Amino acid sequence: MAFGRLERTQGTPPMSDINMTPLVDVMLVLVVIFILTAPLLASSIRLDLPQSDAAQPGQPPAFVTLVVDPSGQAHLDEQPVSMAQLAQALAQRAARNPDTEVQLRADAAVPYGKVVEVMGVAQKAGLNRIGFVAEPPAAGVAR
């Protein structure tokens, strides 16, 4: 038996380069995520919020409810009022807080001219923020 030296074969030398494949995979996943979320960020509602030192985060916004029933009678906070009384009451609200929002609820049967008249009274009083309140259509009803 010969006792000689066993020759060992040299293994592959260690790789000193960075493997770019996982990095590219991660970057492509991030690009896809940004492509999918970009339209969602662009469609956000932009608000022009009033600035005040005394504003509290939990402070509810000031609003007044103005209802026009099917007969054309205006109701301010559930109380029927004439156009002169409405103008005076809205002017008082505007003097207290000019950023008060008018939430206008008009019946579908009210003529367009009457709604415009009520909107004009609110704008003359100094309340330019008017929101129209509507109900969603009933489920299964096609229009």
| CA gap 61, 126 in Å, rounded | 17
- Does this model's pTM top 0.75? My answer is no
CATH value at residue 115: 3.30.420.270
Reference 89, options 35, 126, 131, 57; nearest CA is 126
Contact of 73 with 80, CB cutoff 8 Å: yes
In this structure, of 6-15, 20-29, 31-40, 128-137, the range with the lowest mean pLDDT score is: 6-15
Q: How confident is the model at residue 58, as a pLDDT?
A: 56
Q: How confident is the model at residue 89, as a pLDDT?
A: 92
**What integer is the mean pLDDT of 97-112?**
87
Domain that residue 93 falls in:
63-132
Q: How many domains does the chain have?
A: 1
User: How would residue 132 be classed by pLDDT, with cut points 50, 70 and 90?
Assistant: confident
29 CB-contact burial (10 Å; exposed 0-12 / middle 13-18 / buried 19+): exposed
In this structure, of 12-21, 34-43, 110-119, 127-136, the range with the lowest mean pLDDT score is: 34-43
**What integer is the mean pLDDT of 99-124?**
89
**What integer is the mean pLDDT of 80-93?**
91
| Residue 17 located in a structural domain | no
Q: Render pLDDT for 9-31 as a digit per residue (tens, 0 to 9).
A: 777 877 778 888 889 999 999 99
| Residue 67 located in a structural domain | yes
Tracing tokens 């494949």 back to the chain, one arrives at: 21
| Residue 53 located in a structural domain | no
The number of C-alpha atoms within 13 Å of 65 and in the hemisphere containing its C-beta is 10
Please give the torsion angle defined by the CA atoms of residues 79, 83, 87 and 90, in that order, rounded to the nearest 10 degrees: 30
| Residue 32 located in a structural domain | no
Q: How confident is the model at residue 27, as a pLDDT?
A: 94
| Residue 104 located in a structural domain | yes
| Residue 82 located in a structural domain | yes
Q: How confident is the model at residue 11, as a pLDDT?
A: 79
| Residue 127 located in a structural domain | yes
